[in-house]
Amino acid sequence: MQQPTTHLLRGLSARHIRFIALGSAIGTGLFYGSAAAIQLAGPAVLLAYLAGGAAVFIVMRALGEMAVRHPISGSFSSYARHYLGPLAGFITGWTYTFEMIIVCLADVTAFGVYMGLWYPDVPRWIWVLSIICFIGALNLCHVRVFGEMEFWLSLIKVAAIFAMIIAGAGVILFGFGHSFPATGVENLWSHGGFAPDGLGGVIASLGIVMFAFGGIEIIDITAAEARDPQKVIPQAINTIPLRIILFYVCTLFILMAIFPWNSIGQQGSPFVLIFDGLGLPAAASVLNIIVISATISAINSDIFGAGRMMYGMAKEGMAPKSFLRIASNGVPWMTVVVLTVALLAAVVLNYLIPEQVFVLIASLAAFATIWVWLMILLSHFAMRRSLSAQQRQEIRFPVPFWPVAPAITLLFMLLVIGVLGAVAETRLALIAGLVWLAILTAFYFWRIKKRLRPMVLEQPE
């Protein structure tokens, strides 16, 4: 008879963690969302992705330094509480959870749309309900099952992107049949120049670009369930630059070399056009399979991350005690149930609220992403200040170019928040984000502050 457990189990291998990070960071934002960033900056959007990728890498190295020292389920919420104060930890944890729910809302709705390509007569709500139940059941399984599922779903995405890069490179160099003559790379500067809207266009695209990287911080949340966090977390984080260059920069470089940048997103998905031009009669279905796997993978990762965050906050008195309930297989089942129910309610709201309101809520996720990263950087600065000279020399996974790189990255994140306020399309998202922070602050002083539990981070072994 299996004995009950009162803690999370370490069942995730290095392979699982690498692909969990891929699953959360590569989703519909790459396949479709990048078109909006391209329209703002033109081909110079590549510079925005490189700059944003460098900033995300420093954020993840800062998070990795703290995670290797303290691999705990509360992750960056716990670090913010310990180093910046309980209010910072409370706001950071719930902002991340809210972000994940909003992103899942968009993804489960998108899943229903994608399934409609094959089954147009089936009501969309049936597909939405089915995917919520499937993901909920999957997250109730042993964490190793979750890791395996995420590995294979992410592998489909990675294989598809590799195929697109290889096929696109062939079109650029050699052409393919009558649909694609050899294009070269002239399209990168032949339609108004490489940066048609100058530096302003590149800066304006930063909000969308940074949102595309949102979710990659789930690497740290897996630390509490990793078999060897001191080894696998640094390995996963150090592959981030290669992933960004390969999956974002190379992909968009090829797309904009083949198609004029000002036509991308206006004549259907460029992924479909590439596969169709290669003579694949089922290009739409092939892409649909890829996008569906990307969507399921993203939902899977986001529910996992939000659930573990809620469990970690419950341990510190920042969430209901019921979130601490763990099944015999080591899964915090109550958080999965709560998130599943919340997602059902969100889907209903998606059908009731006007589209403009939904777009505003979705944009709020971008603000939440930047807020979480800011808290990670500030927590890291505070942690470094708390260490003695001897302890700093003993850091196992130090941030490169300390303290210059983290300081520049912090300023970069503040710039992105400023961009959200300066661009008309995202200004309401910034206002809504500030209102959200005010509500959390008020709730903290009203209900949370008096029942906080003492917190002491465990020292590394």
242 lies in a domain?
Answer: yes
In this predicted model, what pLDDT tens digit does every residue of 369-400 receive, in sequence order? 899 999 999 999 999 998 888 888 888 889 99
**At which residue do the structure tokens 């004029």 appear?**
260
Paired strand residues for 239: none
Give me the mean pLDDT over the 338-347 stretch: 77
**Pick from 60-64, 144-148, 360-364, 373-377: least confident:** 360-364
CA distances in angstroms from 113 to 86, 126, 292, listed in the order given: 41, 11, 10
pLDDT-derived band of residue 48, with 50, 70 and 90 as boundaries?
Answer: very high
Q: What is the CA radius of gyration of the chain?
A: 22
> Which residues are CB-contacts of 263 (< 8 A; sequence separation ≥ 6)?
none
460 lies in a domain?
Answer: no
Nearest partner of 303 among 252, 356, 343, 246, judged by Cα: 343
pLDDT-derived band of residue 112, with 50, 70 and 90 as boundaries?
Answer: confident
Q: Can you tell me the distance from the alpha carbon of 136 to that of 134, in angstroms, rounded to the nearest whole number?
A: 5
Secondary structure (3-state) at 44: helix
381 lies in a domain?
Answer: yes
Helix axes 75-84, 45-69, angle to 10 degrees: 70
pTM value is 0.84
Three-class DSSP labels, 330-393: CCCHHHHHHHHHHHHHHHHHHHHCCHHHHHHHHHHHHHHHHHHHHHHHHHHHHHHHHCCHHHHH
Domain that holds residue 174: 14-386+399-448
240 lies in a domain?
Answer: yes
317 lies in a domain?
Answer: yes
**345 vs 6, which has greater pLDDT?**
345
How far the first Cα of the chain sits from its last, in Å, is 32
Q: Rounded mean pLDDT of the chain? A: 79
CATH label of the domain that carries residue 152: 1.20.1740.10
Q: Can you tell me the distance from the alpha carbon of 134 to that of 146, in angstroms, rounded to the nearest whole number?
A: 12
Structural domains counted in the chain: 1
457 lies in a domain?
Answer: no
Q: Please give the angle made by the CA atoms of 34, 264 and 424, to the nearest 5 degrees.
A: 55
Paired strand residues for 226: 12
247 lies in a domain?
Answer: yes
393 lies in a domain?
Answer: no
Give me the amino acid identity at 233. I
Q: Can you tell me the distance from the alpha carbon of 68 to that of 197, in angstroms, rounded to the nearest whole number?
A: 43
